[in-house]
Structure 1
């Protein structure tokens, strides 16, 4: 059977619709011309195969950590990951979780409320199904002796090491920066474009940042489709510097480094008294920051023989010790299926914490999807409308566009971009810095 025939048979069997996602409906893999369909047919199966293969590849390391009698667990875990891959490719149901993690009941209650006709990988809302898959992988590990193992850690540390030259160049360029709007806006844009190094979009293939980072910021300025950096500057500059900035992190590696550079500036220039970093509770979308990645990165910088990077690492560790930088308490809401407009209802203590911040900064594509919900808004609808009432504080989003949803664009802009490149929303070449005041 040819691949094309296999695709046709799959589509007919699973009610796949040969169209783009209709306006004002949930993004889902059931629409064949959507990125969601491509994600579940190709990207996620590839990610799962990589995880399964890595268990065999790193077997000796795992046995050293978990004991010689973990051999069976390694084999059974790899088998379970491959079974999950098969379940996706056969469009199986999203089944309840059976692990003992603290968010298990939340997830199962959520799944129970999904309509039966929207409880498979291709029929469910893309956001729900993709988050479910990553939570399922975590569950497979938690139910074995390998509980607590970060199966993406090697990829994240490799990505950081590949970024060393770019990190050094950025450090040298920012050691004597001025306290003004222009400099702050440059650092926001540096932080935005750091999001291009995203392992989940490449199914784990490494992306090495190259060239002068600030030259790149200037070159990509015409690709910044919405630029609310001045409003973000004013939201901090107009305060008394006693506030807190909450960063909802995205990727480890170079992007986390640019988070730290921006946060250093915010503290050094007295724009806030504290920057709090919100990391993921479980391995998530390959390259997302976990607490260990934060600490590992600071130590990695401090250990560098180059004086500039070494001193920067020591300074950032000192900021952490002094409470100027802070890792937020472990929070499973970030790895739940819920959109952010449901935070006040589902996790009111988190919503209350964010409401006390001077600014909440959401990083990356997945956080953007959760801000808007995986929903085919018209691209000109306002950011405020699409937030659906989620306004705990002044908030902004820094996002390179890697999925087919967007809002807040000027009239006619997306049409011009589609005329140039039909896949402009999937490449990460375009970005948004959007702001909504409280």
Structure 2
């Protein structure tokens, strides 16, 4: 089959094999279903048990009784997973997408079990079902079962956060002082773009036991640029060619992880607005807790409020200048949100069953709004997988070909993928490169050590 373009295929009739957890134990999909994801479910159950014990709100006894019921439902879900039961229909939790989910499962994977359905299907289904379990309760329907871990992970690196904000503040001021210096603007954009990419390494669904020392180490590598030699597909310069032509444009960022990655995304947005390339930035978080550390609306506001809080860095080795820069940025971001310069749109499509190639047909309203943007950045591994679909793609398949309909749809925006690879599906990587990496690091596609910055120029192709 030609790899020039893939404009039309169904979720159950794909041009290449989907990633499925075969029982031979030799692939990452199997390891995820057999070990990694059940471990995540166990963590949710254990963490939720602690939350039940600590609950001190109204109707404590009723909340505790309901908590036991939820724990039982979570345990049942885990049992279904490890014993390879069929994916059962979702219970209607009022979110608004239950029927779409159930219709999709029945249409494309009727009777499908955990080990027989594609990785992208069962993993996404699991997080949606967890959300439904909590949302159908009375006392726990707004409980973010991942928040404590997200908060603790971010707070563990307060000093590094403050230093990073101070550095970006200085870079921004240098650019503003010499705004016609296109070389300075160019270099700064590439640095911030790459920092946004590498922030994706702090993914709690892949690395649930990140401690403060490891986070500090990751942050140091990002700041030093040490990681950049591991960008295996890099369209950064082509992206700059588009950004550099913008004058008060619109940039959208489909978010991935909260905490340090979100901070890197927000800092990039801060710079784009300050130097005038963007007039508006639209952030797209998840409406429900998702993939452990994915950003919700509440996570976004928590980050901004934390930056503004003068006591956020208490107990950390933070200079007064770093602290001032941190607070000033927090105040600026709060104003951006209040004034509509920045906005949050948590469309249900991001937690729905369809990949992003189906946006023009299954997410018409979302897609119509995205076409008003100049550049749409998709952050992280899951968004990348939903862009290209979870298949055994030939690695050299062009990114533009893999994303199909949204690449050449009328008035398509530029689409950018910033992803550190944590799943064995990839496109846009030269055969020589992937062969060389496979020979020296067989797990290069799943380790999170290698990154991709990829572009579909959309309507900008005509410029």
TM-score by length of 1: 0.91
- Alignment check: 8 A CA contact 2:131 2:289 kept: yes
Inter-partner Cα distance in structure 1 for 2:269 and 2:222: 21
The match for 1:112 among 71, 93, 106 is: 106
Q: Distance in 1 between matches of 2:131 and 2:56?
A: 19
CA-atom RMSD, angstroms?
1.8
Structure 1 residues 270-285: aligned runs within 5 Å = 270-285=276-291
Task: Indicate yes or no: 2:83 matched with 1:90.
Answer: yes
The 3-state SS of whatever aligns with 2:195 is: helix
SS, match of residue 452 in structure 2: strand
Which residue of structure 2 aligns with residue 319 of structure 1?
A: 336
Residue 195 of structure 2 corresponds to 190
Cα distance change, pair 427–215 in 1 and its aligned pair in 2 (3 A) = closer
Q: Cα offset for 1:253? A: 0.5
Aligned to 2:179: none
What is the Cα deviation at residue 432 of structure 1?
0.4
**1:292-311 paired onto structure 2 within 5 Å:** 292-305=298-311, 306-311=323-328
Residue 5 of structure 1: aligned partner? none
Partners of 2:390 and 2:266 lie apart in 1 by: 29
Q: Is the 8 A contact 2:358 2:405 kept in 1?
A: no
Q: Which residue of 2 aligns with 1:367?
A: 383
- Among 394, 402, 411, the alignment partner of 1:378 is 394
1:173 aligns with 2:143: no
Q: Residue in 2 aligned with 1:15? A: none
2-structure distance, mates of 1:65, 1:360? 43
| 1:265 paired to 2:271 | yes
Offset at 1:65? Answer: 6.3
**In structure 1, what is the Cα distance between the partners aligned to 2:328 and 2:67?**
40
Deviation at 1:100, TM superposition (A): 3.1
| Residues 14-39 of structure 1, C-alpha deviations (whole Å, 9 max, x = no match) | xxxxxxxx992111112632211111
Tell me by how many angstroms 1:204 deviates: 5.6
Name which of 413, 435, 453 aligns with 1:433: 453
Contact map agreement 1:204 1:286 (CA 8 A) in 2: no
* Mapping 1:36-47, distance limit 5 Å: 36-47=29-40
- Do structure 1's residue 220 and structure 2's residue 258 form an aligned pair? no
Whether the 8 Å CA contact 1:280–1:332 is kept in 2: the answer is yes
Separation (CA, whole Å) in 2 of partners of 1:215 and 1:368: 21
Distance 2:386 2:163 in 1: 33
Residue 150 of structure 1: how far off its partner (Å): 0.7
Do 2:251 and 2:280's aligned partners in 1 also have CA atoms closer than 8 Å? Answer: yes
Shifted more, 134-143 versus 213-222: the winner is 213-222
Q: Match of 1:334, SS?
A: helix
Mean Cα displacement is larger for which, 423-432 or 66-75?
66-75
Q: Which moved more, 1:79-88 or 1:231-240?
A: 231-240
SS of residue paired to 1:277: strand
Please list, as runs of the form range in 1=range in 2, the aligned pairs for 1:14-413 lying within 5 A after superposition. Answer: 24-30=16-22, 32-64=25-57, 67-101=60-94, 102-116=96-110, 119-145=112-138, 146-177=140-171, 178=175, 180-203=185-208, 205-206=210-211, 208-211=214-217, 213=220, 216-241=223-248, 243-305=249-311, 306-328=323-345, 330-391=346-407, 392-413=412-433
Question: Secondary structure of the equivalent of 1:226?
Answer: strand
User: CA shift at 1:45, angstroms?
Assistant: 0.7
Asked whether the 8 Å contact 2:153–2:210 carries over to 1, the reply is no
The alpha-carbon deviation at position 206 of structure 1 amounts to 4.5
Which whole-Å CA distance do the structure 2 matches of 1:342 and 1:283 have between them? 23
2:276 is paired with a residue whose SS is: coil
Calculate the TM-score normalised by the size of structure 2. Answer: 0.86
When residues 66 and 350 of structure 1 are mapped into structure 2, their CA distance, relative to the original with a 3 A threshold, is farther
More divergent stretch after superposition (68-77 vs 285-294): 68-77
Whole-Å Cα distance in 1 between the matches of residues 208 and 371 of structure 2? 35
Output the CA distance in 2 between the equivalents of 1:166 and 1:419.
35
